[in-house]
Structure 1
């Protein structure tokens, strides 16, 4: 299992890095006032950002698959819940790609559209962005809920130091609150993401360097 833990750690880093860079590319384009014009003039950047977010969506499933054999020894139901949440997260993220891809198609049509048609396409574009953001918020809601189960297993089994599990609890609780507020149309800012970001940097480093605690005993 040591090899699986190292690979899972690498996938955590890959997932986080791909998401941060991908969203960093996409977000400024998707929030331009001249949306369809901006999308059309940044087609390559859009596709690059989507590809990176696709890597993130694949990596999170890989993480769940690699950790599942160990986690289910300590709490089979919670381990399955974590696995299912990551699969659902990945599925929602992939479905959310339809929005940006639709924008690319709409941007091409807007070049030749008349004024009235252009306004209609702009409305469709705004709906595509809204749907993309809604699916992302739902994915984060599922991720945070499942990851709380993951942190509970880590805390109870002492597979990693309990202080690290506590950071995970705080981080994913913050993400759960942030995604819930976002779904309600409220902006909580970036501060709620900070503990989760720390956890998703420290945990994979721990998995790569030390792995799960070898003397932890199954409670199943």
Structure 2
């Protein structure tokens, strides 16, 4: 029993750690319109961002692995789906980290190359940057959102956390998916008030959920057996 409670607390810590590493994985030099020159002059910033994005992928997967043995007692299908999509999102994040470092290399070569050859590095860099944006802000969000929806639906059914918290998580996740869909069709930009506003409920919810699991934990750990 104590081991299960500690696992839930550790899962809450991983949520909080994931939020911190997510912030540290932001590379403003890469997000700049002049990223081909700024990335090369901010090598350490980009490298650190790639490192923390890798750590973020581990927190995503670790969170699911910690909760899987506990939650599978309630609904194995939902939990297996949750674990699977969390693993996929972790892999997608790792791919994003590799692409981020690749953009850095292209930026360094762009700065060193002559003006006649820069167009090729610029074209390749644009492809990598667009690919990274799709991976980080669309496909990763889709996979992690599906995983979270399955988890929050399970929370709602089992009442492991208060229902109002589960509903908040479900609605916030739907808004995050909507933000990525709008981004996919170029209706909003990544750095825009609309995109941030749609993702804000999810960000605040995850912070609350992390502290809730650390302080309160689950209401119950073992499913109640039905009378014979």
Q: TM class by shorter-chain length?
A: over 0.9
> What is the rounded CA distance, in whole Å, between the counterparts of 1:215 and 1:99 in structure 2?
41
How many Å separate the matches in 1 of 2:76 and 2:111? 55
1:154 aligns with 2:155: yes
Tell me the TM-score normalised to structure 2 length: 0.90
Q: Equivalent residue for 2:220?
A: 214
Contact 1:40 1:107 survives alignment (8 Å): yes
1:127–1:218 CA distance, 2 compared to 1 (3 A): farther
Alignment deviations for residues 13-64 of structure 1 (CA, whole Å, 9 cap, x no partner)? 00111102222xx1x2113232221011000011111111111111110000
> Distance between the aligned counterparts of 2:88 and 2:173, measured in 1?
16
Q: How far off its partner does 1:107 sit?
A: 2.1
- Aligned partners of 1:90, 1:47: CA distance in 2, in Å? 18
CA shift in 2, pair 1:44/1:33, >3 Å: same
Uncovered stretches (5+) of structure 1, i.e. residues with no partner: none
Aligned positions of 1:107-146 closer than 5 A: 107-136=107-136, 137-146=138-147
Runs of 4+ more than 3 Å apart: none
1:68 maps to: 68
Q: TM-score, normalised by structure 1?
A: 0.93
1:37–1:219 CA distance, 2 compared to 1 (3 A) = farther
- Cα distance change on mapping 1:198 and 1:13 into 2, 3 Å: same
1:135-155 deviation per Cα after TM superposition (whole angstroms, max 9, x unaligned):
111010111112111101000
CA contact (8 A) 2:70 2:221 kept: no
What does 1:1-12 correspond to in 2, within 5 Å? 1-12=4-15
Q: Residues 95 and 153 (structure 1 numbering): CA distance in 2 closer, same or farther, change over 3 Å?
A: same
